[in-house]
Amino acid sequence: MTLLDAVVVGSGPNGLAAAVTLARAGLGVRVLEAQPTIGGGARTLPIPELADDAAGMVFDLCSAVHPMAWASPFFRAFDLPARGVELVAPDIAYAQPLDGGRAGLAFRDLARTTDRLGPDGEAWRDLIGPLAADWQQVTALAMGDKRTVRGMLDGVGSLGSPGGHARQPWGLASAIRPGLRFGAALLEQGGPRWDRRFLTEEAKALLTGVAAHNITPLPSLAGAGTALLLAALAHADGGWAIPVGGSQAITNAMVSDLEAHGGTVETGRRVDSWPDLPPARAVLFDTTPSTLVRVLGDRIRFPHRGALGRFRHGNAAAKVDFVLSGPVPWQVPDVGAASTVHLGGTRAEMVVAEDTVAHGLHADHPTVLVSDPGVADPGRLRGAARPLWTYAHVPAGSTQDVTEVVTRQIERFAPGFRDVVVGSRCIPAAQMERHNQNYPGGDISAGAATMWQMVARPTPALDPYRVAEGVYLCSASTPPGPGVHGMGGWHAARRALLREFDDRHTPGLAPE
């Protein structure tokens, strides 16, 4: 059997980023995907159960909104728009409706946001404005390997082009001030002082809704880091972007580049044990640590194998896709101009809901994320019918159909929502793994979102990607963590190039 240069297990964004990087270095690369379709957490598909109600309509299976598709160092270099992927962002990045006809609104325009926040406008500007102005440095630091100075330099010193450009000697120095500012904001919003800055429920809830993406008790450092980064990107160049046509557009662009450089993708290729892999000089796993341990077994040295086995998964999301006969009838009309809406009520209510889930119980009023892609991408509509993407936070492994719970939570802020629902499909948390093996029990973050695991995932090893000779982990269970950013794959592929192929050159990623 022919010896391949590299095999990548899993075709999620990180796996494809690794495959693209290796193929561009001139290596023979094969990607193996267990599912019948490629993309992992970035897939857009029809839903057979809704075929009668949604003829020709497609739904984002996992992620739907992609600020990192333009902001991460990997994708800035890869340049999706130059490859025909249109990234569109509405004027309102996200919204947080409250009872009584109120709402917090995060406009792409920082000034409009602060104007609408009234007495909290200047406090919002003081906290988020500097991070938005320095979004490149803040993003690059957040997307580093969380281990080494070199890892920070790799992200910061070549802003916009992680491949092929010489590292600028002033890179780290230029990031010190934004890094310190981000760190100070992190400590404030991730600890007991988080309630001191804002006076109004609108501002408090607006930032808390973003922090709740981590599905973790609040306040927390991990939640604060997510909130600050994503809130800053909402006011930056590309906003909270949606790929026209759905998340699959990102995946398709990456696969096209891989194939153009000689790589291949095989679907329906499940890897359960080492013999399932074709012989290769390097194998990169875009999988959970548990999958990696199961496949490699005693090929991983015992101390490292034990550490990987102690990797903790977090709580979960249960997904509900709706087909609607028209727009969601939000009580506050401006909420309908946002393609992302966080539902959970006030900061205090969301704290209770997240704490309830953390204790293994279902919240009566859970945090719910809603995305209406038709707001930014009218091509997703079919006549008056439109898709609506939602998920609710639930305990890990929950088997509950949350359709009614989600419907009630939307109806709370959009009276009459039931009247526009034509059809729906729920994927309980316990079934999320059937669609993406990297979401065990519905853990869409690929690991518990504690600050320790956000920094020291999957283990505290100096190199978080190399597992054994010729074997690397490159999934969202490695730094920098969850999200469609490609950085875990890029970091791992560069290490494989150096260790397995003695290649110190990082290939360029720009379209040719």
List, for residues 327-365, the tens digit of each pLDDT value: 999 999 999 999 999 999 999 999 999 999 999 999 999
Q: What per-residue confidence (pLDDT) applies to 155?
A: 53
Residue 261 — pLDDT band, cuts 50, 70, 90? Answer: very high
Q: What per-residue confidence (pLDDT) applies to 326?
A: 97
Q: What per-residue confidence (pLDDT) applies to 159?
A: 42
Q: What per-residue confidence (pLDDT) applies to 146?
A: 83
Cα four-point dihedral sign 124, 131, 220, 408: positive
List the end-to-end C-alpha distance of the chain, in Å, as a whole number. 33
Neighbouring CB atoms inside 10 A of 507's CB total: 19
Q: What per-residue confidence (pLDDT) applies to 449?
A: 84
Please tell me the least confidently modeled range out of 54-58, 255-259, 378-382, 417-421: 54-58
Helix axes 171-189, 121-133, angle to 10 degrees: 150
470-481 mean pLDDT: 97
Q: What per-residue confidence (pLDDT) applies to 150?
A: 61
Of residues 389, 251, 418, the one with CA closest to residue 321: 389
Quote the tokens at residue 329: 């009838």
86-97 mean pLDDT: 98
Whether residue 153 has pLDDT greater than 80:
no
Residue 163 — pLDDT band, cuts 50, 70, 90? Answer: very low
Quote the tokens at residue 101: 């006809």
The Cα 509–Cα 135 span in angstroms is 21
Per CATH, the homologous superfamily of domain 4-43+245-313+445-501 is FAD/NAD(P)-binding domain (3.50.50.60)
Q: What per-residue confidence (pLDDT) applies to 157?
A: 44
Please tell me the least confidently modeled range out of 25-39, 156-170, 497-511: 156-170
Residue 491 — pLDDT band, cuts 50, 70, 90? Answer: very high
Sheet bearing 4-9, strands edge to edge: 264-267, 29-33, 4-9, 280-285, 471-473, 466-468
Whether residue 158 has pLDDT greater than 50:
no
Supply the mean pLDDT for the chain. Answer: 93
Q: What per-residue confidence (pLDDT) applies to 171?
A: 55
Whether residue 52 has pLDDT greater than 90:
no
Please tell me the least confidently modeled range out of 160-174, 390-404, 426-440: 160-174
The Cα 476–Cα 308 span in angstroms is 14
- Alpha-carbon separation of residue 314 from 6, 15, 202, 217, 227 (angstroms): 31, 22, 28, 11, 18
Sheet bearing 316-324, strands edge to edge: 102-107, 92-98, 338-343, 368-371, 386-394, 316-324, 421-427
Q: What per-residue confidence (pLDDT) applies to 164?
A: 41
Please tell me the least confidently modeled range out of 29-38, 95-104, 132-141: 132-141
Cis before 458? omega within 30: yes
The Cα 44–Cα 245 span in angstroms is 8
Q: What per-residue confidence (pLDDT) applies to 512?
A: 87
Whether residue 507 has pLDDT greater than 80:
yes
List, for residues 298-337, the tens digit of each pLDDT value: 999 988 899 999 999 999 999 999 999 999 999 999 999 9
430-446 mean pLDDT: 96
Phi (first) and psi of residue 421, to 5 degrees: -80, 120
The residue ranges of DSSP E strands in 168-325, in sequence order, are: 242-243, 264-267, 280-285, 316-324
Phi (first) and psi of residue 382, to 5 degrees: -125, 90
Residue 151 — pLDDT band, cuts 50, 70, 90? Answer: low
274-283 mean pLDDT: 97
Q: What per-residue confidence (pLDDT) applies to 455?
A: 84
Q: 181 and 130 in contact (C-beta within 8 Å)?
A: yes
